[in-house]
Amino acid sequence: MAKTPRTGFLTLCIASFAFATLQSGPANAAPASSMGASSESSSDPRVAAVQEYRIKHPNDYVGQERVAKRYGGTLKFHAPKLGLQNVEANDFQKLYSRSRSTSAPDFKSGIPTDAFALSGYTEVYPAGGGYPFSFTVGGNWEYNGTYLGTGYPENVAGLATENVDPACWVVERDWFYARDWALWPLPSSEYNRYSAGSQSLVYQVRDASTLDHGQNAHWGTTSITYKPAGGHAEPGAGCKQKTVSANFYYNHNQAGGGILSIELNLILMQVQFGDTTDDMVLQKSTGVFSVTPGDGIVG
């Protein structure tokens, strides 16, 4: 159902994108937490620990990797359209920041193409401590610090995977979280799980801007965690060697129309809006990235 558009020009001019501001937030900011502001976090404490760190420090890739390694996991970062694939945290921290700061905006779509950026991540944990082998694929979006969005449109975050063998893997948990630039979580009334399956996850995100908090969905993430089928601690023979592909999409609708339908697969996300012109919609994807669960994991 379409929301009645409302205006709310962001008159507070945030300085250009800076990691320190995004990581720490204002001194009076609310502590970011997945409680009450996301789909339920993973029941696996290893995955949940990185989730909690990620929402508090979304651009501290080194810190996220450090938490994953503490639990014996591996974490890689991806931005294929920026030439970054299976990159370790320290390199991604430098290269991703540099690629964003040097990209030139294009206003042909009616929305500057640098209004937001996307990245992906893959995370793998061996069986141990009473928890099974697992792997996670996910994607993040983030608006830049100077984009002045208005209105109350419905955006779409979509994560697609491919080659997930049902004889090997089942979904342990999917996850969504979004917050404004000041670390206040997006209220649950402002997003909706449109669809979820073993190889896709789609959320509608009702994006607006306010004087105090900027874009109410300034940064967000969504992911799918897989565990072995059949309730086993380890997947069947050969499962860890099967490469799983993923692609993360974000569709920003500035004009305010409601969503009529969404089609999602690895190579396409097609969103049909009501009462929206094409030149006020900007959609991006990370590009296809992949994970071979057994790579780099002992066990």
Domain ranges (residues) in the chain? 32-291
Q: Across the beta sheet with 74-79, what order do the strands follow?
A: 84-87, 74-79, 116-125, 134-143, 219-228, 169-179
Predicted local confidence at residue 30, as pLDDT:
40
Comparing CA positions, the residue from 283, 182, 169, 297 lying closest to residue 235 is 169
Q: What is the mean pLDDT of the chain?
A: 80
Pairing relationship of beta strands 116-125 and 74-79 according to DSSP bridges: antiparallel
Predicted pLDDT at 31: 41
Does residue 15 have a pLDDT over 50? no
Which helix (H) or strand (E) covers residue 133, if one does? Answer: none
pLDDT tens-digit readout, 36-49: 345 556 789 999 99
Q: Which residues sit opposite 245 in a β-bridge? A: 162, 290
Determine the pLDDT at residue 215. Answer: 66
